[in-house]
Amino acid sequence: QQQVKQSPQSLIVQKGGIPIINCAYENTAFDYFPWYQQFPGKGPALLIAIRPDVSEKKEGRFTISFNKSAKQFSLHIMDSQPGDSATYFCAASGGYQKVTFGIGTKLQVIP
Amino acid sequence: NAGVTQTPKFQVLKTGQSMTLQCAQDMNHEYMSWYRQDPGMGLRLIHYSVGAGITDQGEVPNGYNVSRSTTEDFPLRLLSAAPSQTSVYFCASSYSVTGGQPQHFGDGTRLSIL
């Protein structure tokens, strides 16, 4: 049972576009929702995270939108750059650190 | 401060062989975990540990053993390698054992089972 559903699996945008990656979760006990960025040959690295008591969080060009009632959250990348080309994972955890990851979105930003 | 260090980076095994994937962290994190990453399946939790001497199973534990004798080290053992265990393995650590904190990942071990 996939507890965190992520879409799309791949995404191509032009430089300056705003890619949006969506995730949905089922377990209402989840209380921490991080996004990780992974470059080829490297491990995932924390990009930005949100807790369910806020509806939006911005860090630089990256924004998380959170809809607690719909159990959905999304990542927006403003003014995307070729250097943002990577795989992005949403995740969710609650209580002890058994983090559940989405399947990942491979983003390509075309110059 | 090296963070999370995994060795080896690449390994090829024959079916039935055993091996140990090493993971060490120098951040004094209590929580450590092992994931495998397969195309279209994201990261799946194999085993995790909330402190020295304490381990538990994750989502896909079969065929793998772990132990945690020190805070720093969390090795993953493949008992009898199978082609289905061909994957990229990531070790991670976190400051918090109760959640709500990010995990720090190593750069992975790419394992092929022939």
Q: Which domains does chain A have, with CATH numbers?
A: 4-110 (2.60.40.10)
Q: CB-based contact (8 Å) between A49 and chain B?
A: yes
For the stretch B4-35, pLDDT in tens is 999 999 999 999 999 999 999 999 999 999 99
CB atoms within 10 A of CB A82: 11
Find the angle CA(B18)-CA(B24)-CA(B30) to the nearest 5 degrees: 115
Helix/strand/coil percentages in chain A, nearest 5: 5, 55, 45
- Bridge-based pairing of strands B109-113 and B10-13 is parallel
Taking Cα atoms as reference points, which of A20, A45, A38 lies closest to residue A86? A38
Taking Cα atoms as reference points, which of B82, B78, B56, B60 lies closest to residue B68? B56
For the stretch B35-51, pLDDT in tens is 999 988 889 999 999 99
Residues of B in contact with A41 (CB under 8 A): 107-108
Residues of A in contact with B107 (CB under 8 A): 41-43
Find the angle CA(A40)-CA(A43)-CA(A45) to the nearest 5 degrees: 110
